[in-house]
Amino acid sequence: MANRPLNVAVVGATGAVGVEMLKTLEKRNFPVKELRLLASARSAGKTTQFKGQTYTIEELTPNSFQGIDVALFSAGASISREFAPYAVKAGAVVVDNSSCFRMDPEVPLVVPEVNPEDIKKNKGIIANPNCTTIIMLVAVKPLYDLSPVKRIVVSTYQSASGAGAKGMDELWEQTKVVQAGGKAEPKVFKWPYAFNVFSHNTDIGENGYNTEEMKMVNETKKIMHNDNIGVCATCVRVPVLRSHAETIVLEFEDKVTVEAALEAWKKAPGLTVVNDPAENHFPMPCESNEQYNVLAGRIRYDISAPNSLAFFVCGDQLLKGAALNAVQIAELL
């Protein structure tokens, strides 16, 4: 990690991911010289703590980035589209957590445990992948290195934090209402969230896949530099507060044994193996909450197809799925 102190801006500092970015910068002792916290006009004037100091949130404007070395963006695609060019023009490198630049061929899409070398190709902007893609590929890459993956079938169990603080609040409030005998009234989501599971709340395309699912398809091909890898994703919301879980089936070109896969995982960065069949103990959201590592386990042969393994992963959507990945990119810079 760089020791040279850097001037850092956090855009969207009051949002769920922005708050985690600040905590992560502090916990990892990122060399911050000057910190600038930026948000919308309605959040300007609020204060927050960082390393024992009080900082005042400033309104984001085109002139917010003078003297900034690294700008961490987590305020949505429209904000990134409008303001990231100002940050680059001012001399900053932008690490963007939105979907805005992910599929731009000029912008590296990076998971530090998977394709750190792509950072060198940046022209001022580096994109953070979608949370589900990050969590999946941290576990897939060590196995891909044993034998190229031909096909991925993935089903996600996505938490409320993927929709930010408002999504988490909706789950909390609806749970209380239903427990008290009332009826859940959806506001953030179209369907009741408490005690319910529903297809991910993004638009369905002409091919029958929703936006979230196609992010996993397209981002995986880009990050792995493999347009031939097949990805079939089904993305679902579950009533969990902040960690995403995923069921993954990989089809390899050659046979990969369960034993070899477990050994590869144990040596891999960013992964913790949770695989105890005797105790039926495998990755769970409650154990991945506030953890930097992705949990991987429940690994077994896919008995329906040759050269295939099935397994289960969990990862903190706000951390490895968002804030931590962005800070790790900044560390590599």
| 125-127, strands of its sheet edge to edge | 58-59, 32-39, 6-11, 70-73, 93-96, 125-127
- Taking a C-beta distance cutoff of 8 angstroms, is the pair 40, 58 a contact? no
φ, ψ at 268 (rounded to 5°): -80, 145
Rounded Cα–Cα distance for residues 302 and 299 (Å): 9
Annotated active-site residue 314? The verdict is no
Annotated active-site residue 131? The verdict is yes
Q: Considering Cα of 62, then 63, then 68, then 72, what sign does the dihedral take?
A: negative
- Partnered with residue 231 across adjacent β-strands are 152
- Partnered with residue 311 across adjacent β-strands are 248
Q: Which of 102, 108, 107, 106 is nearest to 132 (CA)?
A: 102
Catalytic residue among 100, 200, 244, 314: 244
**Which amino acid is it at 197?**
V
Catalytic residue among 131, 200, 235, 314: 131
- Taking a C-beta distance cutoff of 8 angstroms, is the pair 200, 213 a contact? yes
Q: Would you please indicate which residues are annotated as catalytic (active-site) residues?
A: 131, 244
